[in-house]
Amino acid sequence: MNKWHHASTIIVGITSNIIETYDLSIYPFFSAYLIKVFFPFQATYTSLLSISSIFLFGYLSRPIGSLVFGYIGDYYGRKKALILSGLLMVIATAAIGMLPTFQSIGYFAPILLLILRVSQGLSFGGEYTGSVIYLVEHAEESKKNVLGSFAAMGSNLGILISSLVCLMMTYFFADQEVGQRLWRIPFLLSLLFAFISF
């Protein structure tokens, strides 16, 4: 295996996980703003329970995503599975950034948020495991463990980037500005990252 093939394989494994984990972790980092936009209930505990439940369902859907995209990867190729799961994540994340609020469409807003969060979970379940397998399958026998570890590194970088985005948003802008409209920007940034990745 030549050096360029090694490098391109690592880049695919890292960037796919950076974007997937960034998209997945933006939700909890901005949940303090999302709760006011999608769950403006009088009872605070109801709002907290609602936003946390959507977070939970996103994680519960990950094993299903592993099964679905694992099947696609086994029968149609890892590359197709990674592309499809990546597209699903980007579409779901960008759609969250464009969702109407509770004030605009009522209970349809949190229902749509739930659907999109589950879609993110399905995507991540397929992307992470798929990228690990992709890296290992394309590595030389003596370097399988090393290359497989790059998937985890990509995931950690994605969390780091999303936390930095959150830090910059809350540092440079007032809470009221972020809560009203600027919370959408981190979700829409997924489109830019996806463009670079693809």
pLDDT tens column, 8-27: 767 777 787 888 889 889 99
Give the model's pLDDT for residue 129.
81
d(CA 129, CA 38): 31
Place of tokens 């303090």: 32
d(CA 20, CA 190): 9
- Judge residue 93's burial from the number of C-beta atoms within 10 Å of its C-beta, 0-12 exposed, 13-18 middle, 19 or more buried: buried
Place of tokens 């464009």: 98
With 80 as the cut, is the pLDDT of residue 53 above it? yes
Q: What's the average model confidence in pLDDT over 47-76?
A: 90
The pTM of this model reads 0.88
- Judge residue 50's burial from the number of C-beta atoms within 10 Å of its C-beta, 0-12 exposed, 13-18 middle, 19 or more buried: middle
Please count the residues of the chain: 198
With 80 as the cut, is the pLDDT of residue 176 above it? yes
